[in-house]
Amino acid sequence: MEVRYVLGTYHEIILKGQNRGFFERKLLANIKRALAGLPVASVTIPSRVVIAFSEDVPWAQVQARLATVFGLAGLIPALWAGRTYEELERAVESRLHTFGGESFAVRCKRSDKRFPLTSEDIQKKLGAFIKARTGKQVNLTNPDTVVRVYVQSDGLYLSLGEAPGPGGLPVGTSGKVLVLLSGGIDSPLAALLTLKRGAKVEFVHFHSAPYTSEASIRKVEELVRVLARYQGQARLTLVPFGEFQQEVARLAPERLRVILYRRMMLRVAERIARRHRCLALATGESLNQVSSQTLENLAAIDRVAHMPVLRPLVGLDKQEIIDIATRAGTFEISILPHQDCCSFLQPLHPATRTTPKACEEAEKPLDVEDWARRLQHQAQSRQLAPLPWDS
Ligand code: ATP
Ligand code: MG
C-alpha cells in the first residue's frame, strides 16, 4: 500500500494543562527527524497529527520509521477527502471496490465542530450512500468493512486502515538518563523503555580490552546506533575496565567480584552522568533473572549510588524481553557472540546474597574513590549517528 497522508493519535492525558505546547513541539520534531529523507510536505497538529507527503510513499516504510517516535499512540494511513460532504462522497466512491465482505459501518470523528454536519449525520448519510451503491448491509456491531472519516479543521480524511503506534511519551520531554550498556539483550531494552517514557539517553560501556577482544565495543556501537533512531544521535562513553578487574581479582574475595565490578560501574557512571547532566542511571537488571540479581545484591550495588538507578526490566519476563528487543532490532545484534567484561575473571561461585557491609569490607584494600576518579579520566566519549534506514 502507498500513502499520501498519515494521521497520528496521541494520549490526551499529558496534554491537559500547560505542557501541551511543549509536548506537541517535541512530538512534531521527532516525527520530522524519523521521516528525514522521505518526501514530507508538512507535519502539523490541527487536532491530531497530520503528516502529508508530496508524493505516494510505501506505508510499510512510513510505519517502520514512525515506530521509533514515542508519543504516537495510533497511526492511520489516510486519504484526503476534500472539505465538503460532497467531496467526501466522491472520495468514498473511488474506494468502494476495496470494501470487502457483505456488511459495513461508517464511523466518524468530528474534531472541527464548525463542520455543518454532525458525526451522526455523516454516518447516516454516507451509510445510505454506500448501501445504495454497493447493496451491502449496515452492521454496526460486527461489520466486514469499517469506513472511518475524520473531520478536522484542515479538511476531511478517509482512513485506509489503522495500526498501533509505539505509545509512550515524546523523547525529550523527561530529562536525560545514562544507560549502562553491555553487549547483552537486556540493557538495550532498558534504554528503549527509558526512551519510551520520554527521556533522552546516553550510554556508558565498560570493556576489558585489550584483555578481551574489542568485539563488545563494536557490538555496543551498533546497538547505540539502532537506539539512536529513537532520539537522533547519541553519546557513547567507553571506559577501560580491565585493570580495575585485575586489581579486584588480586585483592578481593572471588565470590564478590561481580558485585564489586557493578559497584564501581555505578560510581564511574554517576560521575559521567553528573558531568553530562543526566539525572538518573538505568541498567538492564531485573529481579532474580540471574543469581547476581537478587534483591540483596541489588541493594548492595545501589548503596554506592546517589542518583536514582532505573531498572525498567523489572516487570518483564524473558520472553517479553526477547519479543520487544526483536521488534526494536536490538536482539539480533545482542545475540552475536562476544566476551562481556564480566566474563573476564568471572568467579566460579558468585555470591547470591551479599550485604553492603561485606562489600565495603572487601573494598578496603582497593581505594575505590581513587579508582573511580581514574576510570572517569580514562573514559572517552563520542557521538554516534543513527543507523541509516535502508541498511
Ligand atoms: P545484559 O543483557 O544487559 O548484559 P544481563 O541480564 O546479562 O544484562 P548482567 O550481565 O548481570 O545482566 O548485567 C546487569 C546490568 O549491568 C546490565 O544490564 C548493564 O546495565 C550493566 N552492565 C553489565 N556489564 C556491563 C558493561 N560491560 N558495561 C556497561 N554496563 C554493564
Ligand atoms: Mg550481560
Q: Is 180 annotated as a binding residue?
A: yes
Same CATH fold, 176-384 and 2-164?
A: no
* Nearest ligand 1 atom to alpha carbon 293: 11
Protein residues with CB under 6 Å of any ligand 1 atom: 180-182, 184-187, 205-206, 265, 283-285, 289-290, 292, 340-342
Q: What pLDDT was estimated at residue 262? A: 96
Ligand 2 centroid to residue 350 C-alpha, Å: 14
**Nearest ligand, measured from the Cα of 185:** 1
Mutation pick for ligand 1 pocket among 177, 180, 182, 193 (CB with most ligand atoms within 8 Å): 182
Q: Checking DSSP bridges between strand 145-152 and strand 176-180, what pairing results, if any?
A: unpaired
pLDDT category of residue 344 using cuts at 50, 70 and 90: low
Q: Taking 80 as the threshold, does the pLDDT of residue 289 lie above it?
A: no
Q: What is the mean pLDDT of residues 34-41?
A: 96
Integer CA distances (angstroms), 4 to 62, 63, 90, 295, 390, in order:
10, 13, 17, 52, 20
All structural domains of the chain with their residue ranges: 2-164, 176-384
Q: What is the mean pLDDT of residues 343-371?
A: 89
Q: What is the pLDDT of residues 106-154, one digit of tens each?
A: 999 999 999 999 999 999 999 999 999 999 999 999 999 999 999 999 9
What is the rounded CA–CA span in Å between residue 306 and residue 163?
Answer: 41
The pTM of this model reads: 0.93
pLDDT category of residue 391 using cuts at 50, 70 and 90: very low
176-384 belongs to which CATH class? Answer: alpha beta
Q: Give me the torsion for CA of 389, 30, 158, 48, rounded to 10°.
A: 170
Mean pLDDT for the chain overall: 93
What is the rounded CA–CA span in Å between residue 147 and residue 92?
Answer: 9
Mutation pick for ligand 1 pocket among 178, 180, 324 (CB with most ligand atoms within 8 Å): 180
Q: Taking 50 as the threshold, does the pLDDT of residue 379 lie above it?
A: yes
Ligand 2 centroid to residue 64 C-alpha, Å: 28
* Nearest ligand 1 atom to alpha carbon 334: 2
**Which single residue is written with the C-alpha cell 450512500?**
129
Q: Checking DSSP bridges between strand 155-159 and strand 72-80, what pairing results, if any?
A: antiparallel
Q: What is the pLDDT of residues 181-236, one digit of tens each?
A: 999 999 999 999 999 999 999 999 999 988 888 888 999 999 999 999 999 999 99
Considering the segment(s) 2-164 as one domain, its CATH architecture is 2-Layer Sandwich (3.30)
Q: Taking 90 as the threshold, does the pLDDT of residue 350 lie above it?
A: no
Neighbours of ion ligand 2 (CB under 5 A): 182, 184
Q: Taking 80 as the threshold, does the pLDDT of residue 343 lie above it?
A: no
